[in-house]
Structure 1
Amino acid sequence: MGETKKCALVTGGSRGIGRAICIQLAKDADYHILINYNSNVEAAQETLERVHEVGGSAELLPFNVVDAEAVKTTLDTWQENNKEAIIEVIVNNAGIAKDGLFMWMKPEDWSSVLNTSLKGFFNVTNHLIQKLLVNRYGRIINMVSVSGLKGTSGQVNYSAAKGGLISATKALAQEVAKRNVTVNAIAPGFIKTDMTSEMDEKELKKMIPVNRFGEAEEVAHLVSFLISKKASYITGEVIGINGGIYS
């Protein structure tokens, strides 16, 4: 019997905030990082290299979080090949935005955005949670958004998806707290990533009290804290990281 290999799974870990989280956890924690991605192999490979550069251990775990069968098969196969490993940390970061006015919104723009955030959360977390409960320790982090708290015009689908995930966070936290499993949500405001690259930063930062967009690394530090032992008494929370935009 080898030593148990403790792992952290980050969905949508190939770019943006997901990538920053993978790198930060590799620096701060002893976890073996499972970098999940859907289609961008090159970006995922780059994240893997960056994790190795900072001395972390990691591997790529490709699957589409929306596809329940793929999630199950991939995770079961991985577990079969890594019998001594346990996933202790789940960061549900995979998400997409398809913005547009509600009146013109196509059904697929509604369902794909909701499915990635909500079904993705269900598929991954539901499949893994029993092990966390049996192990009596775990950390679940759901990446949400300021849009899920206050609603954003042009993002009815995204706001609905993230709002749903916020409520799911609060409910699940209550169910699993006795087993030392915490469930928290992180709600970023405007963070410099591919997702916000098309936005007019100069105009938008006037709305932000600290007068700038945030860095993906700043979000990653918060994740790093919440998955640590230091955060054992924090659960069911939605923590904003938005430069004061929602104050």
Structure 2
Amino acid sequence: MSSRIVVLISGRGTNLQAIIDACKLGDYPGSVVGVVSNKLDAYGLVRAKDADIEAIALSHKGFESRESYDQALITKIDKFSPDIIVLAGFMRILTPAFVQYYQGRLINIHPSLLPKYQGLNTHQRAIDAGDKEHGVSVHFVTEKLDGGPVILQAKVPVFDGDTSDDLAARVHEQEHRIYPLVVKWLCENRLRMETKDKNEVAILDNNILSISGYANDE
């Protein structure tokens, strides 16, 4: 049975498009059944509609608290009966109640080699630090911001003279490759999150992944 995927977005939806495109492949074990944005003008909503996927705009404006918004968000998401919830440029900090509700089914993509550069402006921070490599991480979402166990990373070089836009373009190319792959692993029930010795870990094919995720070259 094909896994049901709901994608949360706030902007252009390029990672959403990568996942939609992957789902069109004959052997892909999942399908995007719904897209939800907190921004009414997010271009990702257009991408969803173009692919005949139900798209919902639920603005966070007008809600009294993060908790009340997240509860409304859960209601919208659950109408799709999802197996997997994918954060693809969803620019909101989620409440503990939301994260706990979808624990183990909720993943995010972050533009850095976690645990480096949690939060915003990751490309410029890598340049300012003089890093020779940068990249992207897909991770399970926990209550710690950008702190859930890493599943997969992709590295890119940082060249002399790079701007943050140069580096972002290089990272985006890798994002579109690795995010559909991780979603596929979840759809195939090959990937899960467990608590070991009070710490959450990512497990792929019954093997506990390292702090840098699968197939990281140390």
Take 2:81 and 2:54, find their aligned partners in 1: how far apart are those partners?
14
Q: Write 1 or 2 for the structure with the bigger share of strand.
A: 2
**Superposition deviation, residue 139 in structure 1:** 3.5
Q: Is the 8 A contact 1:91 1:140 kept in 2?
A: yes
Q: In 2, Cα distance between the equivalents of 1:155 and 1:128?
A: 31
Structure 2 counterpart of 1:229? 188
The TM-score with structure 2 as length reference comes to 0.55
- Counterpart amino acid of residue 60 in structure 1: A
2:159 — aligned with what? none
Pick from 147, 155, 159 the counterpart of residue 125 of structure 2: 155
Structure 2, unmatched stretches of 5+, are: 127-136, 157-161, 192-202
Counterpart check, 1:16 vs 2:11: no
- State the superposition RMSD in angstroms: 4.4
Q: Corresponding residue for 1:177? A: none
| Percent identity between the two aligned chains | 10
How far does the alpha carbon of each residue in 1:83-107 deviate from its partner, in whole angstroms, 9 at most, with x for none? xx522102233355xxxxxxxxxxx
Residue 218 of structure 1 pairs with residue 174 of structure 2: no
The answer for unaligned runs of 5 or more in structure 1 is: 53-57, 97-115, 130-137, 157-161, 171-183, 191-195, 206-211
Instruction: Give the Cα separation in 2 of the matches to 1:141 and 1:236.
Output: 17
- Which residue does 1:87 correspond to in 2? 82
Residue 31 of structure 1 and its aligned partner are, at CA, apart by: 3.2
Alignment of 1:176-215 (within 5 A): 185-189=151-155, 199-200=165-166, 214-215=173-174
The one-letter code sitting in structure 1 at the alignment partner of 2:190 is: A
Residue 214 (structure 1) shift: 2.8
Give, in angstroms, the shift of residue 122 of structure 1. 3.9
Q: TM-score, normalised by structure 1?
A: 0.50
Equivalent residues of 1:72, 1:127 under 8 A apart: no
1:132-180 C-alpha deviation (Å, 9 max, x unpaired): xxxxxx6432223434334468539xxxxx894453x23xxxxxxxxxx
Is the Cα–Cα contact under 8 Å of residues 124 and 164 in structure 2 kept in the other structure? no
